[in-house]
Structure 1
Amino acid sequence: MSKGCLILGLFVAFAMVGLVSSARFNELFQPSWAFDHFTYEGELLKMKLDNSSGAGFSSKSKYMFGKVTVQIKLVEGDSAGTVTAFYMSSEGPYHNEFDFEFLGNTTGEPYIVQTNVYVNGVGNREQRLNLWFDPTTDFHSYSILWNHRQVVFLVDETPVRVHSNLEHKGIPYPKDQAMGVYSSIWNADDWATQGGRVKTDWSHAPFIASYKGFEINGCECPDAVAAVDNMKRCSSGGDKRYWWDEPTVSELSFHQSHQLLWVKANHMIYDYCSDTARFPATPVECLHHHH
């Protein structure tokens, strides 16, 4: 591998027209724990949670900026107490992290999707929403788009959360740490379902999350390269422009802005910006975010 950050595979040739590179699980990812809780069925991956263990996987490389997508079919039936997560994260005490956490529920109750953003090790920035479909009956795509201007969480390409770069207001923005891509399923019945009131019913185990459609379009950062050099190589300059740095994706389109407003009006059930019990003083970024 040559020094610096590389775009994956054939994607380089098509970067300007926005085609995506897609790959099988084992090209991009590897199991990170509980190897015996993985099942491979062609291009389909299944991860299970039982009363002995959950499971998790991680990307083989780290990236700085880009878009990651996976299609997930969440645990069917009574999934109370379980959490399935899809997220990006850097390492260390001052890490950055972008989370999708899918909080299971009792049969017939909707799954709750919790998103969170950590910047320099500071989190507690949760938003929660109910989806407009049943995520257990079919596969749906969950994406994180990350560039210099914004972090966008997308469900079936509909934006459900935007974290904007507000550095000009003195608010830190995640832009200088390469991040891995991860997913896991685990037992979180101390908090996941109705604040921990509903516990995991192990008679319904194993709880299975199914995955396919793994895509990473990002600036790959080899561990051997210094962080400052990765930053330089992954930031557009001259004719080396990545599609996620194009002006067209530096902010939401008019249509996407309307989609996000629709999600917030109809599906958001919790926003940390409005939680005066936890935050008597409104977090500073909430005062500036338009979304």
Structure 2
Amino acid sequence: MVMLEVAKAGLMVTVQAKPRTGYLAAGVSPSGPMDEDAFRIAQALAGNGPDAAALEFAQFGGSYRVSEPTLVAVTGGAAEVQIDGRPVPCWESHRLEPGARLDVGVLRGAIWGYIAFSGGIDVPLLLGSRTTHVRNAMGGFEGRSLVAGDRLALAPSAMLTPRRMRSIFRKPSGPIRVIAGPQDDYFDARAWSLFLDEPFAVSTRRDRMASLLFGPALHAARGHDIISDGTPPGSIQVPGSGTATVLTAERQTTGGYPKIATVISADLPRLAQMPGGLPFRFAVVEQEQAEDSLLSARKQADTVIAEIENG
């Protein structure tokens, strides 16, 4: 059995895999990677299929060793990655020999990074997924973030030939696109003017559940309390403080604050990866455009993955 040892834990390092779907009614949100495209590319570079598990970290990756030869790939942003002190590039895979130390430094231009190992991390399936839901302490490795000294099993893999990308996956640029609502009518023209015309930025108060935004306070003319309803990914809820908050992978499944808008699925990973304090604006689009944008983003990611080749 191939073992992965955590020599030095990074920040918020968890085992992540495909989302855990179908359990919203039981109060279990899907979890899964914050940036699904970067996660999928890391897995493909390591020669893994869509059901494999990998590591996700926030800003700083940490240090790792394996007991048998293994492929490893780091994606998400740009970071200083070294194998036994030798620099190696991100966004391609490399052979990690037994006892050699993989060091993953601080991400630049992104918040969430991914470390994939060939074979994938072998943790039990829970409700159909290996992903960790930290707030519910379920799934992944003991339902928690990793710490130094943890040892995790890797599934067997015959893939030991390093792989690289032939083309670059590019996220869309421009405003963060949203669909109005579901409680858009709770906000008057003044609130909507602030929401669309003034800059916002992601604050330092962020985790896998939500990101609080710096920006103008938004007043809900019809009040900030509603009968609790479902919270889709990307919901921008506004409590009485007026602070817009974007709900993400480990969001609560229902909420009692009005939601002025919802970030479209194609742009939610870009918002999740946005460095703190970087200004951006919102723009409203229709549902049809949001669906077309998601299909286009998935097609681009699929093309990039299909073109990955042995190095």
User: Which category of TM-score, normalised to the shorter sequence, fits these structures?
Assistant: under 0.3
Structure ranking higher in strand proportion: 1
**TM-score for the superposition, normalised by structure 2:** 0.23
Larger Rg: 2
Q: Which has the higher contact order (CA 8 A, sep 6+)?
A: 1
**TM-score for the superposition, normalised by structure 1:** 0.24
